Structure 1
Amino acid sequence: MEEFVLRNVTVVNPDHTMDNAYVLVKGGKIAAIGEDQYITQDLPEIVEEKEVESGAVLVPGMIDVHIHGTNNVDTMDATQEALKTMAETLPSEGTTSFLATTITQHPDLITKALKNAASFAAEDRSAGCAEMIGVHLEGPFFSKDKAGAQPKEHLMQADVELFQKWQKEAEGLIKWVSLAPEQDPDHALIRYLTKNGVITAAAHSNASLEEVEKAANSGVSHVTHLFNGMSGLHHREPGVASAALLNQNVTNEIIADGVHVHPAMVKLAFHMKGAAGLLLITDSIRAKCLHNGTYDLGGQTVTVEGNKPYLEDGTIAGSMLKMNEAMRNILDYTGCTVEEAAAMTAWNAAAKLGLSRKGSIEPGKDADFVLLDREKEVLRTWCRGEIAYEKGKEG
């Protein structure tokens, strides 16, 4: 692995910004960081200096914990090439780590996707691409009342034995499970997941506030794509969204594309939860990076027009959002600081997953970081110390 130093760069971390800084990278890790004027203390020998554009900022590599696909591939394709394409494409939007996300389907097809993910993870992957850090099992334990784009014919009650089978096939890669609390009425699966260190999220659920609170006491610690696919903010019947906003022990993820959630509601969520309580995700599908047209999602036909993918009945089906766009939008919608945006795109996900080697630009951590221009367009992305994307050098 190459050794290099970035000089005179503005480094943005979730808790502070350092101007006129240097970042020294060795062996795929951040070896040192400090004020550029003191660089000789950490740089006794000459290493390559990387040029940094004027006005650009360096932010932690973004972590997308909810992504189905991009660039005409999907996790459910269950091929090595599909996951490889995702890993190679995502750095162009600033994503350096991701959870490959499944969708509700026949159990055999989910098994196939999980086995494929395990095989992919077992290979020695190049550092110069996004790292698949696990699997997000979205479904099939959802409510038909709030199925959204999840195929209703394959929805089912929570099943501990089935999950155990899937986790075995995935070789322990399932790090995150989205389910409807009412589909696990005795909370057997929720308690099992929590005991075994798997993040449990409420999703595609018609549960009441009280049901979610009870589920949270059993281990639910997150709410998937806030406001979408859930009972809402009704003034007499508060549902999942109400519980998500009120319970400070429950983090929320949100699709900040202006399609799934109105900017005013994104701002409301930010004011209720603060930067520490929100994770930005894409929930993107294979159509991302491609043109308008028709595509497949979980065996269903999705039509894409602009930034809106939808099923035949008009149901929104995933997104076309990129992580750098989500960062730009959250800044616009809420007026938050760039540091807070970095928390919502990187730090919070790393902390939730217990990934101490990612989420911020600090010595000892993976050299995952993104150089952004003033408009939050990606100039360059490094994954574990290797250049993974450079604007103008695509393809």
Structure 2
Amino acid sequence: MKTMLISNITIVNHDQVEFIGDLFLKDGKIEKVGQNLLVEADVRIDASSKEWTVVPGYIDMHIHGSAGFDVMDATEEALRGMAYSLVKEGTTSFLATTMTQAIDAIDAALENIARFVNHADEAELLGVHLEGPFVSTKRGGAQPVEHMIVPSIDQFNKWQQLSGNQIKQITVAPELSNGLSFVESLSEQGIVVSIGHSDATVVEVEQAVKSGVRQATHLFNQMRPFHHREPGVVGAVLIEERVKTEIIVDFIHCHSDAVKMAYLLKKSSGVILITDAMRAKGLANGDYDLGGQTVHVTEQGAHLSNGALAGSVLTMDAAVRNIQKVAGCSLQELVAMSSFNAAKQLNLANKGYIAEGFDADLVILDKGLHVQKTICRGNLVFEN
């Protein structure tokens, strides 16, 4: 394993005042953090003449595809293509996100993930986000209604076994039959249970949170909206401190004022930036497949023929710039929303922070928050 010294760079964590210092990386870990480090290194990056900042690598908890590939393709080529493509946007780790499909199609995707072994030049596959099929037919969006089923612990356990215990997060509509006991069981197993594609009332959301819901999937999208006499899922999760909210900040899924409202209510500690990207991310506009459905990708986003949004083509670095633009976030807040909060949700004690002993997953940004270099587990995997 090569060693690396990054010197004279502004270092940012979610809970510290930024400072100019040096980082020494060895064997995939951050070996030393300090100033004027006198060490030999195979790779040296000197930022003294640049206005560069280093932040923890971005963690995308909700992504279906990229660069022409999709998790549901159920091939090694697809996962590898995704993992390789994500580093250029600063994403150093991600949850491979499935979608509502026939049981055998989900079986195949999970078995494929269980077999996958990362290469050194790829974003790290942390596990699975199972989005559906335990969701509401009233809030389907791009999730095919014909494959939706009520929550089943037996079915989940079969999938968890097929995945090699890789399912880390699940999106569920807890108001469905068996929903609350399902939430409670998975929460006890340490799964991040996220309410999404749900038509729950505010009372049903409160019950679900008591049972273990700790996250909301793509806030505002495909959930019972806010009404002043029935706050719905949106109203409930915006004021529930125990729940963190994913949000797609592409200004297509949410108006910029809705993004700002979520930031003001949830604060940076309660927001998780995601892309919910599909296979067209990074490619030209045109027609693409999503779970057997044709998705039309234009400047206005990714839509099914019926007009429903079908994921995004958003990149994580653009999400960071976008929320900074509308909410005026500090660098520390951006780190929380793009990395630390996800690491905390997933109980990743070694990610989302720049300190000795942590994984050397880092993104070097210029003053405009554009990715200059990405480092995955101590390897320089992307240079702009």
Normalised-by-shorter TM-score class = over 0.9
Question: Which TM-score applies when normalising by structure 2?
Answer: 0.98
Partner of 2:46: 51
Residues 188-197 or 253-262, more deviating: 188-197
Distance in 1, matches of 2:255 and 2:311, equals: 16
Match of 2:283 in 1: 290
Cα deviation, residue 203, structure 1: 0.3
Aligned letter for 1:2? K
* Structure 1 residue 126 displacement after superposition: 2.4
Tell me, which stretches of 5 or more residues in structure 2 are unaligned? none
Structure-2 separation of matches of 1:196 and 1:19: 39
Rounded to whole Å, the distance in 2 between the matches of 1:384 and 1:23 is 13
Letter in 2 for 1:161: D
Identity of aligned residues (%): 45
Counterpart in the other structure of 1:161? 154
Q: 1:1-395 alignment to 2 at 5 Å?
A: 1-36=1-36, 39-40=37-38, 43=39, 45=40, 48-52=43-47, 54-120=50-116, 123=117, 125-185=118-178, 187-306=180-299, 308-391=301-384
Classify 1:213/1:373 alpha carbon distance in 2 versus 1 (closer, same or farther; 3 Å).
same
Q: Separation in 2 of the partners of 1:130 and 1:307?
A: 28
User: Aligned-pair distance for 1:376?
Assistant: 1.5
Deviating more after overlay: 90-99 vs 46-55 = 46-55
Mark the runs of 5 or more structure 1 residues left unpaired by the alignment: none
The 8 Å contact of residues 4 and 41 in structure 2, kept in 1 or not, is answered as: no
Aligned length: 383
1:196–1:24 Cα change, 3 Å: same
Deviation at 1:182, TM superposition (A): 1.4
| 1:89-132 C-alpha deviation (Å, 9 max, x unpaired) | 10100000000000000011001000000001xx3x32221000
Give the letter aligned to residue 88 of structure 1. Answer: Y
Q: Contact 1:10–1:17 at 8 Å: present in 2 too?
A: no
| Local SS of the residue matching 2:208 | helix
Letter of the 1:6 counterpart:
I
User: CA contact under 8 A between 2:151 and 2:179: conserved in structure 1?
Assistant: no
Using the TM superposition, give the Cα deviation of residue 319 of structure 1 relative to its aligned residue in structure 2, in angstroms.
Answer: 0.4
CA RMSD of aligned residues (A): 1.2
User: Matched residues in 1 for 2:254 and 2:146: separation?
Assistant: 27
TM-score by length of 1: 0.95
- Secondary structure at 1:326's aligned position in 2? helix
Asked if structure 1 preserves the Cα contact closer than 8 Å seen for 2:121 and 2:376, the reply is yes
Aligned letter for 1:16? Q
Q: Secondary structure at the match of 1:16?
A: coil
- The one-letter amino acid of 2:166's match is L
- Aligned partners of 1:281, 1:48: CA distance in 2, in Å? 31
